[in-house]
Structure 1
């Protein structure tokens, strides 16, 4: 799950200290958790990036506000590579940059009410892109933002492209007058900044020839563009309040409902903008810039917003793989990658590790399955021959990866006294179209665990937040354990699974 900031802790007054390392500079000068680092050398700190740049000097002057409200100034002489030894409650100290798009596939508009507020926050902050590899659209930048990116060399950055053609990108972002992402990437390249890009593909919208052109355009921008991922659109049953699939246009208009129109995105022209000219009354091209954005969209948005079929997923793979071969011959790397989900949905074999190069988009679901399989082949040799006492273990996962986990269970069941049952959880909460482990809710997992009859459970780490503490529906591992009636543990990597079984072998 991408890093999600807690806006309650972003005060605009500096960085609130969460932890002070023992014997650090901060400890020596008496900084404590709860103190706020307001400025360094007279420069107000906007985020942890400013802090890191300011600390690269041999002498720094700190302005600190203590937890009880007192201000003090501290001058420090240090090695330029030395850090204060503090951690902050949040990486951003000032206003979070929110999203000003109306993407038809936006996951936040596909969630029911009642979750914690941070899950409804439409963040689109380039600083989180630099710090945590969050994908952002680059549609909300001021010239001052550009200057800062270039001066501080914030590289690499992660950009959601979706389509390189401005007309199609406007559709995918649900807004008019989108900047030309190709020119933006070129500007970053001139500043020595590299980018990773993603395309969220929607059937019959930005796939096919639109996808082919987008990939061509991004390949032409290598080496500025270091990777291109294509991931399938994900839709929940709440997309249209549980009704049958509707159109791209209807999905954009969801952002214009009272529930969303006054939230944290910058106001954009509504679909029924009275200044636009309907295409039905005009013979001009939909690309004519004289037309308003919504009018220019025309009939191309009257197609269903839906998930990929296995055959369509295979077609996307078939489009991408020749590009990989071409890029490898030309650059020595494959550059463009279909996400694991496409291969699993199509029933295709997962490519070998070398096809993913150095796995630059691992956290975006590109290469995770191959990495797990390869690590499993390596670490399963360390499994014990037997465990201390007969134990039944539930191996929880989403339905998409269940066939792969069944292969893992076959080997685990060769351990004497261990009986492993794969528990693929159908996502009743978000709908059966949501098949990934990362969007499982405790409300679906707990009944599945009870029905399994197992004594213990291993849960996928990806179903918890960035810290591993809470599911999307706000359950902790401890609460899941209490309500399911069995001990639970988390595992994300193959070696974590093996370590867990080895611990059982030593448990009397």
Structure 2
């Protein structure tokens, strides 16, 4: 799951210290958890990036506000490479840059009510793109932002492109005044900034020839563009129930309903401006009708159904991408363009070998994760014990999409004497059966599946929990799931963690 900021802890007063390492420089000068670093050398800190730049001097003066509200200045002499040994509660100190788009596939409009507030936060902050590889759209930057990116050399950045043609990008972002992302990438290149790009593909919308043109345009921008990932749109049952947006147009217009128009991000203008026109493909005339809104002026284009990919369509996307990979490898020595793992699993195609993914530049975006897991498993399984003393039935919990891969793992584990492993693919009743990935499993679906599994222990996928590994999307901790399911549970995200868990079972039997 992407890093999600907690806006309650972004106060605008500076960086709140979460912890101070023992025997660190910060401990030596008396810093404590709860203290706030307001400024360094007179410069107020906006975020952890400012802190890293400011602290990299031989002499620095810190303005500290203690938990009791007292302020003091501390001047220290140090090596420029020395850090204070502190961690902050949040990487952003001033405010979160929020999203001003109305993407038809926006996951937040597919969420039910009642989850924790951070899950409804529509962030689009370029600083989180630099710090945590969050993908952002670059539609909300000021000139001051551009100047800062250049001055502090915030590279690489991660950009959600979706389509390079301004007409189609306007549709994919649900916004008529979309900057030309190709020009933005060129500008970054002149600054020495590199970018990773993603395209969230929707069937019959920005795939086919639109996708082909986007890939061609982004390849032409290499080496500024270091990777291009194509991932399939994900839709929950809440997309079609209640709000019932059956088309691209209806999905965009959800952002203008009373439920969403005054949410906790930047208020966005309605598209009923009678003087407005939209960018179209070269050679076309701008569409304009003073009696029609933005989506209506787009006509039949936005009447396309918003839906998930079929296996046949997923295979067609792979077939488009793989020739580009071969071409890029011949031309650049890397494959550059990648289909996400989900396309291969949906199409029933073999996962490509590791070399296809180069150095896994989009691993956290679900590109190469399965291959890495399988390769790591092949090495890690050599350390599996031959037997465990006590008969144990272990549930391997996963989403339905990855279940065939996990069956391969279970087959090997079942060769261990006294260990019976069952893959428990959990059908996502909460978000709907169209949601098949492990990262969106809820405890509410996992708990009854565990109770019905007949197992006495369970391993849960790490991706179903938040950035810290402490909470599922519906706010359950592993301990709460364990209590409700009536069995011990552990979490694992890598093959080596799975092997260590089995080794621990064997050791506990011997003790």
- TM-score normalized with structure 1 length: 0.97
For 1:470, the equivalent position in structure 2 comes to: 471
Counterpart Cα distance in 1 of 2:492 and 2:285: 50
Q: C-alpha offsets along residues 35-78 of structure 1, whole Å, 9 cap, x if unaligned?
A: 00000000000000000000111110100000000000011111
For 1:107, the equivalent position in structure 2 comes to: 107
Q: C-alpha offsets along residues 137-174 of structure 1, whole Å, 9 cap, x if unaligned?
A: 00000000000000000000000000000110000000
Cα deviation for residue 295 of structure 1 reads 5.1
For 1:377, the equivalent position in structure 2 comes to: 378
Secondary structure at the counterpart of residue 396 of structure 1: strand
Cα deviation for residue 6 of structure 1 reads 0.5
Cα deviation for residue 266 of structure 1 reads 3.3
Structure 1 residues 81 and 289: alpha-carbon distance in aligned structure 2, compared to 1, 3 A threshold: farther
Cα deviation for residue 433 of structure 1 reads 0.1
Counterpart Cα distance in 2 of 1:287 and 1:479: 59
Cα deviation for residue 5 of structure 1 reads 0.4
For 2:46, the equivalent position in structure 1 comes to: 46
- 8 Å Cα contact 1:446-1:483 kept in structure 2: yes
Counterpart Cα distance in 1 of 2:5 and 2:26: 24
- 8 Å Cα contact 1:388-1:507 kept in structure 2: no
Q: C-alpha offsets along residues 432-483 of structure 1, whole Å, 9 cap, x if unaligned?
A: 0000000000000000000001100000000000000000000000000000
Secondary structure at the counterpart of residue 112 of structure 2: coil
- TM-score normalized with structure 2 length: 0.96
- 8 Å Cα contact 1:253-1:271 kept in structure 2: no
Alignment of 1:239-318 (within 5 A): 239-241=239-241, 246-275=246-275, 287-288=285-286, 293-294=294-295, 296-318=297-319
Counterpart Cα distance in 1 of 2:124 and 2:59: 34
Q: What is the aligned length? A: 503
Instruction: Determine if the alignment matches structure 1 residue 458 to structure 2 residue 453.
Output: no
Alignment of 1:337-348 (within 5 A): 337-348=338-349
C-alpha RMSD over aligned residues: 1.6
Secondary structure at the counterpart of residue 238 of structure 2: coil
Counterpart Cα distance in 2 of 1:51 and 1:207: 42
Counterpart Cα distance in 2 of 1:148 and 1:240: 42
Counterpart Cα distance in 2 of 1:64 and 1:359: 41
Cα deviation for residue 341 of structure 1 reads 0.2
For 1:359, the equivalent position in structure 2 comes to: 360
Alignment of 1:170-209 (within 5 A): 170-209=170-209
Counterpart Cα distance in 1 of 2:28 and 2:187: 44
Cα deviation for residue 298 of structure 1 reads 1.9
Cα deviation for residue 241 of structure 1 reads 2.4
Unpaired runs of 5+ in structure 1? Answer: 279-283
Counterpart Cα distance in 1 of 2:481 and 2:130: 34
Counterpart Cα distance in 2 of 1:264 and 1:299: 32
For 2:326, the equivalent position in structure 1 comes to: 325
Q: C-alpha offsets along residues 279-324 of structure 1, whole Å, 9 cap, x if unaligned?
A: xxxxx98652767844542210001000000000000001111110
Counterpart Cα distance in 1 of 2:449 and 2:466: 21
Alignment of 1:17-96 (within 5 A): 17-96=17-96
For 2:151, the equivalent position in structure 1 comes to: 151
- 8 Å Cα contact 1:196-1:227 kept in structure 2: yes
For 2:162, the equivalent position in structure 1 comes to: 162
- 8 Å Cα contact 2:121-2:265 kept in structure 1: no
For 1:281, the equivalent position in structure 2 comes to: none
Task: Tell me whether 409-418 or 373-382 shows the greater mean CA deviation.
Answer: 373-382
- 8 Å Cα contact 2:308-2:434 kept in structure 1: yes
Cα deviation for residue 267 of structure 1 reads 3.6
Task: Tell me whether 18-27 or 410-419 shows the greater mean CA deviation.
Answer: 18-27
Structure 1 residues 460 and 277: alpha-carbon distance in aligned structure 2, compared to 1, 3 A threshold: closer
Counterpart Cα distance in 1 of 2:321 and 2:403: 25
Cα deviation for residue 378 of structure 1 reads 1.1
For 1:122, the equivalent position in structure 2 comes to: 122
Counterpart Cα distance in 2 of 1:368 and 1:315: 21
- 8 Å Cα contact 1:286-1:295 kept in structure 2: no
- 8 Å Cα contact 1:272-1:294 kept in structure 2: no
Secondary structure at the counterpart of residue 63 of structure 1: strand
- 8 Å Cα contact 1:273-1:294 kept in structure 2: no
Structure 1 residues 289 and 47: alpha-carbon distance in aligned structure 2, compared to 1, 3 A threshold: farther
Counterpart Cα distance in 2 of 1:216 and 1:424: 38
Cα deviation for residue 264 of structure 1 reads 3.4
Cα deviation for residue 388 of structure 1 reads 2.1
Q: C-alpha offsets along residues 365-410 of structure 1, whole Å, 9 cap, x if unaligned?
A: 0000001111111111111000121000000000000011011101
For 2:506, the equivalent position in structure 1 comes to: 505
- 8 Å Cα contact 1:394-1:457 kept in structure 2: yes
- 8 Å Cα contact 2:103-2:252 kept in structure 1: yes
Counterpart Cα distance in 1 of 2:411 and 2:285: 56
- 8 Å Cα contact 1:103-1:252 kept in structure 2: yes
Cα deviation for residue 269 of structure 1 reads 3.7
- 8 Å Cα contact 1:343-1:350 kept in structure 2: yes
Secondary structure at the counterpart of residue 298 of structure 2: helix
For 2:427, the equivalent position in structure 1 comes to: 426
Counterpart Cα distance in 2 of 1:202 and 1:242: 22
Counterpart Cα distance in 1 of 2:259 and 2:284: 31
Cα deviation for residue 181 of structure 1 reads 0.4
For 1:442, the equivalent position in structure 2 comes to: 443
- 8 Å Cα contact 2:277-2:286 kept in structure 1: no
